[in-house]
Amino acid sequence: MQDTVIDLIRHGEPVGGRMIRGNGCDHPLSATGWAQMRAAVAPALRNQCPWQQIVTSPMSRCRGFAVELASRLGLALAVEPELREIGMGAWEGRRPAEVAAAAPDAFRAFRTDPVAHRPPGGEQLADFRRRIARAYARQLAHWPGQRLLIVCHAGVSRAVLGHVLGADDAAWYRMVIDYAGVSRIRHSPHGAAVEYVNAARARA
Domain ranges of the chain: 4-88+124-199
Does residue 173 surpass a pLDDT of 90?
Answer: no
Q: Which pLDDT does position 186 carry in this prediction?
A: 98
Torsion of CA 63, 156, 30, 19, to 10 degrees: 140
How does pLDDT run across 4-60, given as a tens digit for each residue? Answer: 999 999 999 999 999 999 999 999 999 999 999 999 999 999 878 789 999 999 999
Average pLDDT of span 168-186:
94
Average pLDDT of span 88-96:
96
Calpha distance 47→54 (Å, rounded): 18
Does residue 73 surpass a pLDDT of 80?
Answer: yes
Question: 4-88+124-199 belongs to which homologous superfamily?
Answer: Phosphoglycerate mutase-like (3.40.50.1240)
Q: Which pLDDT does position 101 carry in this prediction?
A: 97
Average pLDDT of span 179-183:
98
Calpha distance 160→8 (Å, rounded): 9
Q: Which pLDDT does position 49 carry in this prediction?
A: 78
Does residue 1 surpass a pLDDT of 80?
Answer: no
10 Å CB burial of residue 22 (0-12, 13-18, 19+) is: buried
- Give the DSSP per-residue string, 32-99: HHHHHHHHHHHHHHSSS---SEEEE-SSHHHHHHHHHHHHHHT--EEE-GGGSPPP-GGGTTB-HHHH
Q: What mean pLDDT, rounded, does the chain reach?
A: 96
Q: What is the pTM of this model?
A: 0.96
Q: What percent of the chain has pLDDT over 90?
A: 93
Taking each helix axis as running N to C, give the angle between helix 31-45 and helix 60-73, from 0 to 180 degrees, rounded to the nearest 10. 40
Contacts of 194 (CB under 8 A, 6+ apart): 161, 164, 165, 183, 184, 185
How does pLDDT run across 95-127, given as a tens digit for each residue? Answer: 999 999 999 999 999 999 999 999 999 999 999
Contacts of 105 (CB under 8 A, 6+ apart): none
Average pLDDT of span 162-184:
94
Q: Which pLDDT does position 204 carry in this prediction?
A: 82
Does residue 178 surpass a pLDDT of 90?
Answer: yes
